[in-house]
Amino acid sequence: MKAIPLTSTDLTPPEATAEVTKNPCEREVSVEIAADVVAAEMKSALERFQKHARIPGFRKGKVPASVVKGKFEQEIKTEVVERLLPGAFREESKKQNLVPIGQPQVIDLEFEEGKPLKFRAAFEVVPEFTVDGYKEIKVAAEPTAVDEAEVQKTLDGLLERGSTYENVDEDRGLADGDYASVAFKGKGTEEGAEPVEMNDVLVDIGGENTIKDFTENLRGAKAGETKSFDVTYAEDFGDERLAGKTLHYDVEVKGIKKKAVPELNDEWVKELGQEGLNTVDELKARIREGIEHEKKHQADHKRKDEILHKLNELFPIDVPRVLVENAIDQRLERGLRQLVSQGLRAEDIKRMDLSKLREGQREGAVKDVRANLLLEKVADAEGITVTDEDLDKEITAAAMQGRQNPALLRQQLEERNGLDALRSQLRCDRALDALLKQSE
């Protein structure tokens, strides 16, 4: 049968629909509200309508009850349903120890005056399950040791960023290791190609990342000379706008420069201006600590993903569809928000096949929901709690990161009923941390 929302004002009989796949998380309760209770609510509703009804020929509040009932019978019944069904449903669910997830749907509503009001309500619940054996999940820790080569690579990067480029005053041509200061104009050889023009570019002659044609055509050129040549870009060139195309370039050599890399010594370290750094050894130690921290962070993140994967495999519980749909909504919202920040336009979004995008997110959403339900159960087993103080700290940290007012962020969360969701997420995070710690 076609389901209607519990608070629906539509009292017309539902239509038959095609049979759907059995939902293992769906439950159903049958509810009957006594005829005298219905009659009392009908009487109260009629009085409310009678008090405010405006009907030609009668003064406000003086319309006979029979006239009001005849004109507003459907509306009165709707109000009775909206007032009686939620409470009756909650009472019956509580009696059967059922905790509904999402909006219950009413099916087979029977409402005849003078008789009990009967209906069935379908809804989803989180199925009963245990996580016995979760402590057996083991994930090997990855090595996070840092070698000297990694430290040196970071040091080289710092020195490179601190490099300067000095003019070469000698009367000579460009050689490998030089930097050519150039201005160029480029244009594709195909008809209608848009020209490209830049006035101040440094070309690393013989450099690893320099296009070979630039090196070969500029090598030996002196300041003031102009070179003209074609460049054919590979099909897999990193810039899609140039991949597979041939461009003609007119290049003016404005000057020759040499890169001056700072000398690695204590004086240079002090010039970096970082608190607590005065020597090369201190800089190396901090670089090492930073690399170790990042390696550990990445290793822990990878191990947590593996733990969640094993948790899903070990406890393949059914999950409520409504939670999955909510998770899909959140995934799509995050993805679209990121795309918009990268320049996606509203008209581009309108052209997207959202139904296809939703289905593409379904498998991941199911795993997310299942993982959260399992982590909640682990949190119960571990006695993990999140205090109001914990919640305040998290809100303050999130507000600082987003440059918001903590009080305003809390208010926004309260308005969206987001505090409970945040508390639940913090419990899940702590449960996952506990699993990580015991999995070593």
| Number of neighbouring beta carbons within 10 Å of residue 76 | 20
Superfamily (CATH) of domain 319-438: Trigger factor, C-terminal domain (1.10.3120.10)
Asked if pLDDT for residue 14 goes beyond 70, the answer is: no
Contact of 127 with 118, CB cutoff 8 Å: no
Q: Which of 225-229, 252-256, 419-423 has the lowest mean pLDDT?
A: 419-423
Contact of 104 with 121, CB cutoff 8 Å: yes
For the segment 267-290, the average pLDDT, to the nearest whole number, is: 93
For the segment 245-260, the average pLDDT, to the nearest whole number, is: 94
Q: Sorting pLDDT into bands at 50, 70 and 90, what band is 10?
A: very low
Q: What type of residue is 242?
A: L
Res 21: pLDDT:
55
For the segment 113-129, the average pLDDT, to the nearest whole number, is: 93
Q: What type of residue is 407?
A: A
For the segment 238-265, the average pLDDT, to the nearest whole number, is: 92
CATH topology of domain 165-260: Chitinase A; domain 3 (3.10.50)
Q: Beta-strand (E) ranges in 6-58?
A: 26-33
Average pLDDT in the chain: 89
Asked if pLDDT for residue 248 goes beyond 80, the answer is: yes
Looking at the chain, the domain(s) classified CATH 3.10.50.40 span: 165-260
Q: What's the half-sphere exposure (Cβ side, CA atoms, 13 Å) at 261?
A: 9
For the segment 147-153, the average pLDDT, to the nearest whole number, is: 95
Which two three-digit tokens encode residue 31?
A: 């509810």
Share of the chain above pLDDT 90, in %: 66
Beta bridge partners of 123: 27
The CA distance from 49 to 78, in Å, is 12
For the segment 136-160, the average pLDDT, to the nearest whole number, is: 92
Question: pLDDT tens, 426-440?
Answer: 999 999 999 999 987
Res 210: pLDDT:
93
Looking at the chain, the domain(s) classified CATH 3.30.70.1050 span: 4-124
Looking at the chain, the domain(s) classified CATH 1.10.3120.10 span: 319-438
Question: pLDDT tens, 69-83?
Answer: 888 889 999 999 999
Question: pLDDT tens, 294-317?
Answer: 999 999 999 999 999 999 999 999
Res 53: pLDDT:
77
CATH topology of domain 4-124: Alpha-Beta Plaits (3.30.70)
Asked if pLDDT for residue 17 goes beyond 60, the answer is: no
Asked if pLDDT for residue 403 goes beyond 90, the answer is: no
Question: pLDDT tens, 341-350?
Answer: 888 777 777 7
Contact of 121 with 6, CB cutoff 8 Å: yes
Contact of 434 with 384, CB cutoff 8 Å: yes
For the segment 211-225, the average pLDDT, to the nearest whole number, is: 95
List, in sequence order, the alpha helices (H) in 315-417: 321-341, 346-350, 354-382, 388-401, 406-415
The CA distance from 22 to 5, in Å, is 19
Q: What is the DSSP letter of 131?
A: -
For the segment 273-282, the average pLDDT, to the nearest whole number, is: 92
